[in-house]
Amino acid sequence: MNLSAGRSPGDTSRAADAAVRARGLRVVRGARTVLDDFDLDVRQGTLTGLLGPSGSGKSTLMRAIVGVQRVAGGAVDVLGRPAGAKVLRDRVGYVTQEPAVYGDLTIRQNLRYFARVLGAPRSDVDRVIDQVQLGSHADHLVSRLSGGQRSRVSLATALLGTPELIVLDEPTVGLDPVLRVELWGLFHRIVEAGATLLVSSHVMDEAERCERLVLLREGSLLADDTLPNLLERTGTGDAEQAFLKLIEQADNGMRTP
């Protein structure tokens, strides 16, 4: 079910400058339809939060955006090209929930390898190591790092080169509060430099750190709006309350004869 009517009036104009544009997207995994007739625009140069409980379809949507998810219908365009197009390889950065780096290599060796794959300048290695604040661990084996440090190494791989769109699947899960704040500061600096970030989370208090929120529930789009607008629309005081109110409204709408 597509509930994109929850967007603010006039949001259709955003399609012209969308970094991501999904129309009628349908994804089926096994016997389950994860996304059905799903529409979404992610405006360029924004930090957009993709929020919802586990199993709501966030990771599936992100996989469709980066072109590694088989879709059953509809289309996804990224930076004006079909998702997964070869020309997008060095224009889109992607970080999965699980660290996708090699444990038997050091941080620096991992990043040198990925820089060669992406055709990024060798000098980028030191730059991204500094960005994720791992300079003192650069020559440590990844297998000996903490979970949070391994997550930051994965983030560093996505920052190599000059990606225009960076897709981060729950990058702050398991991190301590101080590091979470530091990473969100980094995300904002990346956007200020001109990139677009799409960041998923199931932690509702992280909504306050996003310019725009996309709220999912069971593969449906509950809302695509700013947090202040959502709070005003729902008459609530925080993102979690707003989310619960939107669920209540959606359920009531489904029961209306």
Tens of pLDDT along 72-116? 999 999 999 999 999 998 899 999 988 789 999 999 999 999 999
Q: What is the pLDDT of residue 16?
A: 54
Whether 72 maps to a domain, the answer reads no
What is the Cα–Cα distance from 43 to 20, expressed in whole angstroms?
7
Whether 144 maps to a domain, the answer reads yes
Residue-range definition of the domain harbouring residue 154: 45-66+84-251
Whether 133 maps to a domain, the answer reads yes
* CATH number, domain containing residue 61: 3.40.50.300
Mean residue pLDDT of the chain comes to: 88
Q: Angle at Cα 191 formed by Cα 187 and Cα 195, nearest 5°?
A: 115
Whether 156 maps to a domain, the answer reads yes
**pLDDT below 50 — which residues of the chain?**
1-15, 255-257
pTM: 0.86
Which residue from 96, 75, 66, 92 is spatially nearest to 27, judged by alpha carbons? 75
The number of distinct structural domains making up the chain is 1
Whether 245 maps to a domain, the answer reads yes
Whether 173 maps to a domain, the answer reads yes
Whether 162 maps to a domain, the answer reads yes
Whether 62 maps to a domain, the answer reads yes
Q: Which two tokens stand for residue 92?
A: 């889109």
